[in-house]
Amino acid sequence: MHIPDNFLSTPVWAALDVVAVSAVGLMVKRARRELDDSRIPLLGVMGAFVFAAQMINFPVGVGTSGHLVGGALLACTLGLAPAALIMTVIIAIQAFVFQDGGVLALGANVFNMAIAGVLAGYWPYRIWGAGRRRPAIFAGAVLSVMVSASLALGELLISGIKMPRPLILVSLALFAISALIEGAITVSVIQAIDKLNPSFVRRPDRANAPVLVTLGAVALILGMVGFLLASTTPDGIERLGLKLGLHSTVSFHAPLADYTVPLLDSAWLRRATGGLAGLVLIYAICAAAGRLIGRQRSA
């Protein structure tokens, strides 16, 4: 999910760098309100924990294993801003020290995983966690992976990277599997942590629940509507990119350009390709908007 340099077109990576800088800046401000320097070692150490945890195998099937990404786990234990900042630092260290993900593409990777992904991991727990905890945590973890992966895919497509349709579908399927694994791992780790020491896991406050539940539902409905709209054009994202001039070079449409596999090439699946990324973008925007409005209401 870490996009290297020279995959995204210049307008895309530059725009995302700007977006990421602003978003991270907001998170820093939010974190400064909640904690002073003495909490920094805790955040750093928990970041090291997530880094190390990403390397532990979770057996999920015949010869396959999954890994934790950790955004949702951090959000449920340390809170939104700390989680976002820790993930930002992890992604940056991965880019510089391990050359996993690009430097110019940092904005994109940070936005996908540390901002949108963490927000998506946090909100279901925040809204529904007071009630049924495990499904809320699971939903958050699943969404965090789906959101980050879909955004990454969307950004690649909008930059003009060629991906045959079957591969896109396979990728989405793999994302879904990773998302489910993340959900399972996050739930079982949080349960185990809770058994060790309940104070480690944050309790979402009930106070704002009604407002947030409404906003969450609105976000979901808007998302679904957006999905339906976006999915009316096949290859929607790619065409959009071409139209906006976001492709880095004009590509030739050679005879082999369109792969079609009869079985997989149903109309619905085609729409889903373009629609999913759109859904995810809209969800992220609504969730952020909802948070701002919610805070003003409760202020």
Partner 1 sequence: MHHVLVDQWSQGASPMHARDPRAKVVALVAFLVVLATTAPDAFATLAIDAALLAAGILIARLPLSGVLLRAMGVLPFSLTFGLMSWMAGDRVRALGLVEKSYLSTVAVLLLIGTTPLPRLLSGLAALGTPRLLVLLAQFLYRYLFVISEQAQHLRLAALCRQGAGTKHRRSRFRAAAGALSVLFARSYYRAEGIHRAMLARAFAGRFAPLKPLRFRASDAVFALATISFFILVRVE
Site residues for partner 1, 39-98, by CB under 8 A, read 40-49, 51-53, 55-62, 68, 77, 85-86, 88-90, 92-93, 95-98
Q: What residues does 64 pair with on adjacent strands? A: 61
Task: Verify binding: residue 18, partner 1, rule CB under 8 A.
Answer: no
Place of tokens 């859904």: 279
Q: Would you say 65 or 214 has its CB closer to partner 1?
A: 65
Window 121 to 180, contacts with partner 1 (CB under 8 A): 161-164, 167
Residue 157 and residue 258 in contact, taking contact as beta carbons nearer than 8 Å: no
Q: Which of 164, 175, 140, 157 is nearest to 265 (CA)?
A: 164
| CA-based torsion, 88, 90, 96, 98: positive or negative | negative
Scanning 7-15, 123-131, 142-150, 227-235 for contacts with partner 1 by CB under 8 A, the matching segment is 7-15
At its nearest, how many Å lie between partner 1 and the CB of residue 109? 13
At its nearest, how many Å lie between partner 1 and the CB of residue 203? 17
Q: Would you say 31 or 282 has its CB closer to partner 1?
A: 31
Q: Would you say 16 or 279 has its CB closer to partner 1?
A: 16
Site map (CB under 8 A) of partner 1, residues 236-275, x = contact = -------------x-xxxxxxx------------------
Q: Is 65 helix (H, G, I), strand (E, B) or coil?
A: strand
Task: Verify binding: residue 5, partner 1, rule CB under 8 A.
Answer: yes
d(C-alpha 232, C-alpha 273), whole Å: 11
Task: Verify binding: residue 203, partner 1, rule CB under 8 A.
Answer: no
| Residues contacting 150, CB < 8 A, separation 6+ | 172, 175, 276, 277, 279, 280
- Tokens (6 digits) for 114: 């540390």
At its nearest, how many Å lie between partner 1 and the CB of residue 219? 29
d(C-alpha 174, C-alpha 179), whole Å: 8
The secondary element (H helix, E strand) that includes residue 202 is: none
Q: Would you say 50 or 136 has its CB closer to partner 1?
A: 50
Instruction: Candidates 18, 22, 34, 99: give the one binding partner 1 (CB under 8 A).
Output: 99
At its nearest, how many Å lie between partner 1 and the CB of residue 132? 20
Residues 138, 140, 142, 143, Cα dihedral to 10°: 160
Scanning 28-36, 228-236, 273-281, 283-291 for contacts with partner 1 by CB under 8 A, the matching segment is 28-36
At its nearest, how many Å lie between partner 1 and the CB of residue 4? 5
d(C-alpha 258, C-alpha 261), whole Å: 10
